[in-house]
């Protein structure tokens, strides 16, 4: 059984169709990279999965269970089993790094504060912020804040991690520290869907890449095949342009 199954997924923003019969099966522990031009629908897939953008057709199944996006409890269940990290960190400025990571498990999941704090400390150490736990966001670099955001997402113990252009707002010298964190998670078997313009990183960390254009998956295959020998002309055109830079 696949971990996540996206079947014939379509979505609209008003009258504009942003996703057109998207199909994608993801195995447990697999890392899928979504690649394509700006506005192609990559981020829209992540938003539909988490219920932030309504689907207009199709279905999403997690471990064989179909998510009913018209049912609030079903959407909550999906959000409890997945976590999304955006390019903007959205940290609470009046809370330390540790407090930012602990607040959701304690307030939303009603978990034991001491237990959550111990886990949060381990997560912050895992993302390289062992010595920064008591600092506030304005005392941290952009890369450090993004790693706090990743730790915050992991504190919810998601089955699937969704990453939406998480390095886009960072200075170039800060990108590598965030990507190292994602490499570590991939090596540990976290199921992930990644939207990124860091093509070298996508090629390295993704098991498969789905190339998307105009809301459709044009081609999906192993990362090396997509970069070295894409089958579809639209994919070849896109790859040839990005590899020139």
226 close to 207: Cβ distance less than 8 angstroms: no
Predicted pLDDT at 172: 81
CA distance 8 to 175: 34
For residue 119, being part of any structural domain is answered with: no
The residues pairing with 16 across neighbouring beta strands, listed in sequence order, are: 13
Residue ranges, the chain, pLDDT below 70: 1, 244-245
142 CA to centre of own chain: 18
Predicted pLDDT at 245: 53
Nearest to 58 by CA among 22, 4, 17: 22
For residue 226, being part of any structural domain is answered with: yes
DSSP string, the chain: --SEEEEEEEEEETTEEEEEEEEEEE-TT-EEEEE-STTSSHHHHHHHHTTSS-EEEEEEEETTEEP-TTSHHHHHHHHHHEEEE-SS----TTS-HHHHHHHHHHHTS---HHHHHHHHHHHHHHTT-TT-TT--GGGS-HHHHHHHHHHHHHTT--SEEEEESTTTTS-HHHHHHHHHHHHHHHHTT-EEEEE-S-HHHHHHH-SEEEEEETTEEEEEEEHHHHHHS-SSHHHHHHHHHHTT-
In the chain, the number of structural domains is 1
For residue 99, being part of any structural domain is answered with: no
Q: Which tens digit of pLDDT belongs to each residue from 185-233? A: 988 999 999 998 888 888 989 999 999 999 999 999 999 999 999 999 9
For residue 57, being part of any structural domain is answered with: yes
For residue 138, being part of any structural domain is answered with: no
For residue 198, the domain's CATH number is: 3.40.50.300
For residue 191, being part of any structural domain is answered with: yes
Structural domain that includes position 13: 4-91+160-242
CA distance 76 to 67: 10
Q: Which tens digit of pLDDT belongs to each residue from 4-26? A: 999 999 999 989 999 999 999 99
For residue 219, being part of any structural domain is answered with: yes
Predicted pLDDT at 95: 96
* Residue given tokens 């860091």 in the structure block: 198
For residue 142, being part of any structural domain is answered with: no
Predicted pLDDT at 121: 96
pTM exceeds 0.85 for this model: yes
Predicted pLDDT at 244: 65
């Amino acid at each position: 059984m696949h971990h996540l199954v996206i079947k014939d997924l379509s979505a609209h923003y008003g009258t504009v169709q942003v996703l057109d019969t998207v199909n994608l099966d993801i195995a447990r522990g697999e890392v899928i990279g979504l690649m394509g031009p700006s506005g192609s629908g990559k981020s829209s897939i992540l938003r539909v999965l988490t219920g932030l953008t309504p689907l207009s057709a199709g279905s999403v199944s997690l471990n064989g269970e179909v998510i009913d996006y018209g049912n609030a409890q079903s959407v909550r269940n999906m959000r409890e089993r997945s976590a999304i990290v955006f390019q903007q960190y959205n940290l609470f400025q009046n809370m330390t790094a540790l407090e930012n990571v602990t607040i959701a498990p304690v307030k939303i999941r009603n978990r034991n504060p001491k237990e959550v704090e111990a886990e949060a400390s381990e997560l912050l150490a895992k993302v390289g912020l062992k010595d920064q736990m008591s600092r506030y966001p304005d005392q941290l670099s952009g890369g450090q804040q993004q790693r706090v955001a990743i730790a915050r997402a992991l504190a919810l113990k998601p089955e699937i991690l969704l990453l939406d252009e998480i390095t886009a707002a960072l200075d170039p010298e800060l990108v590598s520290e965030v990507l190292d964190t994602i490499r570590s998670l991939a090596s540990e078997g976290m199921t992930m869907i990644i939207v990124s313009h860091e093509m070298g990183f996508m090629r390295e960390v993704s098991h498969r890449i789905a190339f998307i254009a105009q809301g459709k998956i044009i081609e999906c295959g192993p990362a090396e095949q997509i970069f070295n020998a894409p089958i579809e002309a639209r994919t070849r055109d896109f790859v040839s342009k990005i590899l020139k830079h």
